[in-house]
């Protein structure tokens, strides 16, 4: 009994010390340490496993987000056209040639970001995020003609329309949530969209019953300093809810993976309850996987310590957002809100569609696990493992970190959930190349194997400084890297 008491006292003292240090110590994220200015490029500054090499393919790109290959094996990339920080540029589809030369195939409108691309039977399929006009999936032929397949997707908010990937005559894509944790708040004004779309909010995919929690904030949509907005979950800003209130589901919805016939037709729900399902990829065994960007510590309902997730996607399943993280209920005060006692983390939903499953892997908190691909053979090695781009933290806006998290590419053994570093910057510390004063990776946002499976291409978004005022991306600092087996 005495031993148990002493052990409990040690654990309690450790928790108090940890929490106290967390409160006192300043955040030191990778973006906070990034210095904008001329970027260096040096493939030799990327640390890889023995037997692998790196090569710079293209540089000076404006916010690249994904690459793809045509039937002849030619390499293409998309430039986003939008970055957090409310920086609007022109979304473009580029063909990358030897020596880093580019040819513009198509240009989009001011409705980015273009977040993903796939090639199938002579045409490109691109996800358009839709910050101004709603999300779209567009088809682009080799001449550059753009044809929307589906429009008006609900992605005006924090997260966008992502994907796509073509499989068996179906086009799969995803839509992120409007908010961090289900409630529109002042943080969404900081992201730029609340004043543009003051009635926008999260949309449930199936009927849900609310617990009736409401959250009070200073009304950021008025000039009166004493004006208060009372907002409930899945409601427009300033609209409250009641216990037992039913919210009707609809498709398309937010926080979901959808699919539609490639030849056109209504979208169908694949899975939901996902905060921001960014990357989609099929494993060699035919199973669909997605990466999910987990909760931030911001807004009316902040969540602390939620790691990003790799999920195996199962048809029709609810994955837990906005009340679970990686299969665990966020009402667990000790893990997800040690500073505030969990008073803001009571469940939003009164009933749950199903018990969320266990994830395939859990990444670091705020690592921003984004685009990924699977090794499909022995030519490159690590057959069947998922290679995942970790964009890197965006502290302090998303929450505090003590040191940079992400800024690298990892590989995941999906059967066990074991995560190993694969491509990281050389140095004694982890972080973006500009902070380490070398020419390696800044912010990996996606990876893609070539059609032969012998080389892995890393899409590097470029420099982005972050501070208390938000994100500050740097144009013309993006790059494409090639990783090959020697």
Residue 226, sorted as left (phi over 0), alpha (psi -120 to 50) or beta, turns out to be alpha
Structure tokens at 344: 């803001």
Q: Which pLDDT tens digit goes with each residue over 289-325?
A: 999 999 999 999 999 999 999 999 999 999 999 999 9
Q: How confident is the model at residue 227 (pLDDT cuts 50, 70, 90)?
A: very high
**Predicted local distance difference test score (pLDDT) of residue 16:** 38
pLDDT at 371: 98
Q: In total, how many domains does the chain have?
A: 1
Helices (H), 441-481: none
pLDDT: which is higher, 51 or 344: 51
**Residue 348 pLDDT > 70:** yes
Neighbours of 461 (CB within 10 A): 27
What is the percentage of the chain residues whose pLDDT exceeds 70? 93
The pLDDT value given to residue 3 = 40
- Asked if 126 and 114 count as a contact pair (C-beta separation under 8 A), the reply is yes
Give the model's pLDDT for residue 14: 38
Q: What is the DSSP string of 325-386?
A: ETTEETT-HHHH-TTTTTTT-S-SBSS-SS-----SEEEEET--EEEEEE--STTTSSTTPE
Q: What is the pLDDT of residues 148-204, one digit of tens each?
A: 999 999 999 999 999 999 999 999 999 999 999 999 999 999 999 999 999 999 999
Residue 363: which pLDDT band, with cuts at 50, 70 and 90? very high
pLDDT digits (tens, 9 = 90+) for 439-465: 999 999 999 999 999 999 999 999 999
pLDDT for 1 beyond 60:
no
3-state secondary structure of 33: helix
User: Mean per-residue pLDDT for 366-385?
Assistant: 97
Mean pLDDT confidence for 414-432:
97
The answer on pLDDT for 26 being more than 80 is yes
CA pair distance 274, 282, nearest whole angstrom:
18
Going by pLDDT thresholds of 50, 70 and 90, the confidence category of residue 6 is: very low
Q: Long-range contacts: 189-192, Cβ < 8 Å, 24+? A: 189/220, 189/221, 190/397, 190/470, 191/84, 191/157, 191/158, 192/86, 192/131
Per-residue confidence band for 146, with pLDDT thresholds at 50, 70 and 90: very high
Confidence of residue 343 (pLDDT cuts 50, 70, 90): low
Mean pLDDT of the chain: 93
Neighbours of 334 (CB within 10 A): 10
For residue 88, the domain's CATH number is 2.120.10.30
Taking 60 as the threshold, does the pLDDT of residue 9 lie above it? no
The whole-number pLDDT of residue 98 equals 87
pLDDT in the model for residue 345: 83
- Which pLDDT score is estimated for 131? 96
Give residue 17's pLDDT: 40
Hey, is 7 helix, strand or coil? helix
With a cut of 90, say whether residue 286 has pLDDT above it. yes
Write out pLDDT tens, residues 27-38.
999 999 999 999
pLDDT interval class at 332 (50, 70, 90): confident
What's the pLDDT band for 412 if we cut at 50, 70, 90? Answer: very high
Give me the pLDDT at residue 330, please: 94
* Structural element, H or E, at residue 150: strand 146-153
Domain boundaries, position 22: 2-485
* Partners of residue 52 on adjacent β-strands: 485
Summarised one tens digit per residue, pLDDT across range 246-278 is 999 999 999 999 999 998 889 999 999 999 999
Does position 15 have pLDDT exceeding 60, yes or no?
A: no
């Amino acid at each position: 009994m005495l031993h148990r008491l002493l052990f409990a006292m040690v654990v309690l003292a450790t928790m108090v010390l940890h929490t106290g240090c967390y409160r006192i110590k300043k955040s030191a994220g990778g973006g906070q340490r990034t210095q904008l200015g001329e970027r260096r490029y040096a493939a030799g500054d990327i640390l890889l496993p023995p037997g692998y090499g790196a090569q710079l393919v293209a540089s000076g790109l404006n916010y690249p987000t994904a690459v793809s290959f045509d039937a002849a094996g030619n390499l293409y990339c998309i430039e986003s056209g939008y970055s957090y920080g409310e920086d609007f540029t022109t979304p473009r589809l580029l063909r990358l040639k030897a020596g880093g030369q580019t040819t513009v195939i198509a240009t989009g409108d001011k409705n980015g970001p273009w977040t993903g691309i796939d090639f199938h039977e002579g045409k490109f399929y691109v996800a358009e995020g839709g910050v101004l006009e709603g999300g779209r999936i567009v088809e682009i032929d080799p001449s550059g003609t753009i044809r929307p397949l589906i429009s008006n997707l609900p992605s005006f908010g924090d997260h966008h329309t992502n994907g796509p990937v073509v499989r068996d005559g179906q086009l799969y894509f995803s839509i992120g949530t409007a908010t961090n944790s289900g409630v529109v708040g002042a943080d969404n004004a900081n992201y730029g969209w609340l004043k543009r779309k003051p009635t926008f909010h999260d949309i449930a995919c199936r009927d849900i019953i609310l617990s009736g929690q409401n959250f009070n904030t200073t009304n950021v949509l008025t000039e009166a300093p004493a004006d208060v907005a009372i907002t409930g979950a899945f409601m427009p800003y300033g609209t409250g809810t009641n216990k037992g209130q039913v919210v009707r589901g609809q498709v398309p919805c937010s926080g979901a993976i959808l699919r539609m016939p490639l030849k056109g037709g209504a979208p169908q729900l694949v899975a939901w309850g996902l905060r921001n399902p960014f990357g989609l990829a099929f494993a060699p065994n035919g199973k669909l996987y997605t990466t999910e960007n987990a909760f931030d510590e911001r807004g009316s309902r902040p969540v602390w310590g939620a790691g990003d997730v790799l999920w195996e996607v199962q048809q029709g399943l609810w994955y837990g957002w906005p009340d679970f993280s990686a299969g665990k209920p966020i009402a667990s005060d000790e893990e997800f809100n040690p500073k505030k006692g969990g008073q803001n983390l009571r469940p939003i939903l009164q009933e749950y569609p199903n018990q969320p499953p266990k994830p395939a892997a859990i990444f670091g908190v705020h690592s921003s696990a984004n685009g990924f691909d699977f090794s499909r053979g022995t030519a490159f090695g690590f057959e069947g493992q998922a290679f995942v781009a970790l964009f890197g933290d965006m502290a302090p806006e998303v929450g505090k970190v003590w040191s940079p998290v992400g800024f690298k590419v990892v590989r995941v053994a999906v059967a066990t959930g074991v995560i190993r570093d694969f491509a990281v910057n050389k140095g004694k510390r982890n972080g973006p190349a500009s902070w380490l004063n070398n020419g390696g990776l800044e912010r990996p946002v996606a990876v893609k194997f070539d059609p032969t499976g012998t080389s892995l291409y890393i899409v590097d978004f470029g420099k982005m400084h972050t501070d208390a005022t938000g994100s500050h991306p740097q144009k013309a600092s993006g790059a494409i890297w090639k990783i090959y087996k020697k």
